[in-house]
Structures are given as C-alpha cells and as structure tokens.
Amino acid sequence: QVRLVESGGGFVQAGGSLRLSCLASGDTSCMSDMNWYRQAPGKERELVAAVTSESSTYYSDSVKGRFTISRDDAKNTVYLQMNSLKPTDTAVYYCNVGLDKSSPFCKAQYNDVLGYWGQGTQVTVSS
C-alpha cells in the first residue's frame, strides 16, 4: 500500500502563493502519475494538475499559468506551487497517485487497486 500525506495548505489573501507537498510512503515501487485534485464545497472533485513518471505535466485551464506541479522521486514527493491565487481556488486539495501495472510484480500486487488518495489539505483564499 501507499500512504500519502499532504501539507502546506492554509489561509492566504488573493494574489498570494502557497506550496503544497505530498509525501508518499510505503510501497512506492509501482507508483506512476502523481496528481493534485481539489474539491470545493458543493462541487465535484476535479483534476487540477498531473505529472507523469517521465515528468510530463497537465494543468486544468483554470490554473494554467498560475500553478506548477513537480515531483522529486528521490524524496517520493509531489509539489504544487500555487501563485496568483484567487478566491475561486478555495477548496480541499487532494494528492493522488496512480499505479503502473505493466510489470508482473505490480500487476500481481495492485491489479484491483485504482490508486491512492491523501486525506486532503484545506486552501482558503480571501478576497
């Protein structure tokens, strides 16, 4: 299993910055994509940013140009640098990792597992 612990959330004024971190522990050998999702009150959880094991990145249109995702595989950590924050960025931010099941070992270990989630960290942006 993989355990994910997010940190770095908090309260910030519009235009400010925050840096989220997500530390993975446990069996990290089969991890593939590392992702950040967010969920605002009354809304569905949405993908904000993703980074593959080859460091290709994806951003939702709402954060493109303001957020930067990165990963440090030596530290089993994924980061989300959030700049020019807006009140609409207020949400609980969740770390998520996918699993690469292309190897026999990983397929045997995680065949029925879609991925793992952290517990979430609150980000509140005031106007």
* pLDDT value of position 99: 93
- Cβ atoms of 71 and 90 closer than 8 Å: no
pLDDT digit string (tens) for 21-74?
Answer: 999 999 999 999 999 999 999 999 999 999 999 999 999 999 999 999 999 999
**Does 124 score more than 90 pLDDT?**
yes
Q: Average pLDDT over the chain, rounded to whole?
A: 96
* pLDDT value of position 111: 87
Percentage of the residues of the chain whose pLDDT score is greater than 90: 91
